[in-house]
Amino acid sequence: MKNRPAYAIDSVDHALVLAQMLQHEGQLRVTEAAERLGVSPSTAHRLLAMLVYRDFAERSDDRRYFPGRMLRPAPVTEAPLAVLRRVAGPHLRALTDRVGETSNLVVVVGTEARFVMTTECTRPLRVGDRMGQALPAHLTAGGQALLAALPPAELASLYETSADVDLRRLRRELALVRKRGFAINDQRTEPGVTAISLAIPATPTHPDPAIPPPNASPHPDAAIPLANASPHPDAAIHPDASTRPDAAISPAKESARPDVAITLPYASARPEAAITLAMPTARFDRTRLPEWITHLAATATQITAALPA
């Protein structure tokens, strides 16, 4: 039998007990939670609200609480998550320092994109911590970067019965992601936030020697353009391409874009995670897209090289 810790934190214990109750019993009301915990209804309400915020609970219209997605059984990725986070951490911090924007590590479980690590930038106006959040994979940049690696049959099995996803449109969007090698989410999941993402290669490639290792300290505003990128601003990929997929893959428009495609990591083995740069939409500048993609690609390659075989 376990003994209660000498310095137990009641609020944490109460939240965990509520999570257990939801998982085992299926539903709760605030009054019932308060009675079971021996706390006031207002305290129980605040605890349940935090569980909802972290996706351990969901609230129905009639004010009942049900288990959230984090309490439901789900397949895990093949890459050990703890190892991936430990290895990726220094590289995400270096990426954020270089670019001056928030970076995320994202995995896909089923049809959800899960944020497993966030490194916030220090700018006053920035995208905040997303760690622990889960969003529809087909709408997020990281989710699309990973969905693009799925075989057609597996993608169809995930979405062909979904009433919320237009599978034909999604296939067009993912074809564009594969062609470019990266994905863009322009305010599809949150107004005022734009994100760029690239999958982490499953097998090591040669890192770009122009990108310093994570312990280096280059000037954060230093731009490292792609060698084959066009400097003309109108040639860059339109920032709202992800929200207008039919227009984004128009041959007339696609031919005007620079060749900023990244060598895809999908050919040899399926990537298990993606890295994302997230920024206020007001700061998204399409002329800097080649620079951002270069930093993402180098960081992804460095993470792959640092992962244990």
Span 179-215, pLDDT tens digits: 999 999 999 999 999 999 999 987 665 444 444 444 4
Say if residue 68's pLDDT is above 80. yes
Which CATH superfamily hosts domain 81-306? GAF domain (3.30.450.40)
Structure tokens at 211: 């990108």
Where, residue-wise, is CATH 1.10.10.10 in the chain? 10-71
Residue range(s) in the chain whose domain bears CATH number 3.30.450.40: 81-306
Q: What b/e string do you get for 33-69 counting C-beta neighbours within 10 Å, with b at 16 or more?
A: bbeebebeeebbbebbeebeeebbbbeeeeeebebbe
Q: CA 219 → CA 96, 97, 146, distances in Å?
A: 12, 9, 31
At 188, phi and psi to the nearest 5? -80, -25
Residue 220, pLDDT score: 36
Q: Can you read off the two tokens belonging to residue 92?
A: 């995400």
pLDDT tens digits, 240-290: 443 343 333 333 333 334 344 454 444 456 788 999 999 999 999 999 999
CATH architecture classification, 10-71:
Orthogonal Bundle (1.10)
Do 50 and 15 form a contact (C-beta atoms < 8 A)?
yes
